Amino acid sequence: MNKVTIQDVAKVANVSITTVSRVINKTPSVTAKNRLRVEEAIRKLKFKPNISAQRLAGGKTNTIGLVIPFYPGLFHSFYAIEIIRAIGAVCERMRMDLLLHLSTRNAVLNFNAVDGIVFADIIDNVAQVDEAIKQGIPSVVINRNFEQSQVNCVYIDNKAGAYEAVNYLIGLNHKIIAHISGDLNTQAASERLAGYKKALVDKGILASDKYIFKADYSRNSSRKAVEAIIKTDKRPTAIFVASDDMAMEAISALAEKRINVPQDISVIGFDDDPIGLFGQIRLTTVHQPLNEMCEKALETLLYLIAGKPVSLKNAALKPQLVIRDSVTAFRPKS
C-alpha cells in the first residue's frame, strides 16, 4: 500500500497543499469550512503527518545538540555518562529530542538539525563554538569557563574543590602530598592542579614538581604514576588524585605493593563517582554538582532558544568535600 501524502489529503479535501499544511500546524488563518474538510480527509485517509516536516515548517526542530569532545574511554567516564544522562533527563522532561555528537577537532556540525547546542567542555574544538555563535545558534558551554568567547558558561569551580581537598589533608598533618593529574589539556585538570598548588603554598609548603605526576584520566596512567610515587626519596603520606577512577586504580596499585590505604598513604579523589563506595575502601572525594550544572545550562539554553533576554553568565558551581575512609591523620612513626 502506498503511503498517504499531504498531496492526497489536499486532493480529497479539494483544497491547496498550503491549506492542509496550515491545518496540520494549527495556523489560525484557515477558514472553519476548509479546516473541517481537511480534518475529514485526514480521518478518511488515516493520514499521519510527518513530525520532522512539521517542526521544520515551524522553524524549530525541537532538538537539543550535545557536543562532547571524543577521547578514548569516553563511555567508561563517569563524567561523560553523567552529562549525557542529566542532559537527556531534562530533554525528556521538556519533551525535546537529544542529538549527541562526539566531536573531533575538524568535525563539521549540522547546525540545521538543532535549536540550540550544549558544548560539554572545549578542548580542541573552539572553532565549533565560534561557528555556532557566528550563525546565531543558541549555545551554552558547560564544564569550562570560556572567557575568550561571548557564550554563556556553567562550570564547576575545580580549583576550589582541589584546594579544599588538599587543605583537608594538610589539616590532618600531611606535609608531603603528591598529585596525580588528569589530562592537562582540559581546563578541569589544570585547575585541579592549580588548586593543589595553592593549598600547599598558602600553608607554607613547597609545591615541588617532583610530587606532581602527570596522567590522562586513564587507569593505566594512574598505575604508572603510583609506581613512580613509591620510588621517590621521601615517600608522600597522601595523594590527591584528579579523578575517582584513577584514585581507585591507585589504591589497587598500592595494595599490590602491600602499601595500605589509609594507614600508610591516604588517598583522595575527585568526582564522587559511585564506584568509590564499592572498592576495597570507601573513597574520600570531592563531589561535583553535575546535575545542577546541566540543569542550569539547559535552563539558560531554553531561554536563548525562546528569544528571551539572558545576560552573559559565567556561573561557577562549588564542589563539596565528601569524607569517607581513604584518608586518615598522619602520625609519624616513632
Give the C-alpha separation, 6 to 55, whole Å: 15
Identify the CATH class of 63-156+290-317: alpha beta
Task: Give residue limits of the domains in the chain.
Answer: 6-57, 63-156+290-317, 158-288
The CATH superfamily label for domain 158-288 reads Response regulator (3.40.50.2300)
Give the model's pLDDT for residue 4. 81
- Note whether 320 and 286 are within 8 A (CB): yes
**Can you identify the CATH homologous superfamily of domain 6-57?**
lambda repressor-like DNA-binding domains (1.10.260.40)
- Kindly list the averaged pLDDT for each block of 10 residues, start to end, along the chain of length 334: 78 87 74 91 83 55 90 80 93 90 83 91 85 90 84 95 98 98 92 98 96 94 97 96 96 96 98 91 97 93 87 87 98 79
Decide if 282 contacts 324 (C-beta within 8 A): yes
In this chain, the answer to whether the domains covering 6-57 and 63-156+290-317 adopt an identical fold is no
The pLDDT value given to residue 7: 83
Per-residue pLDDT at 53? 53
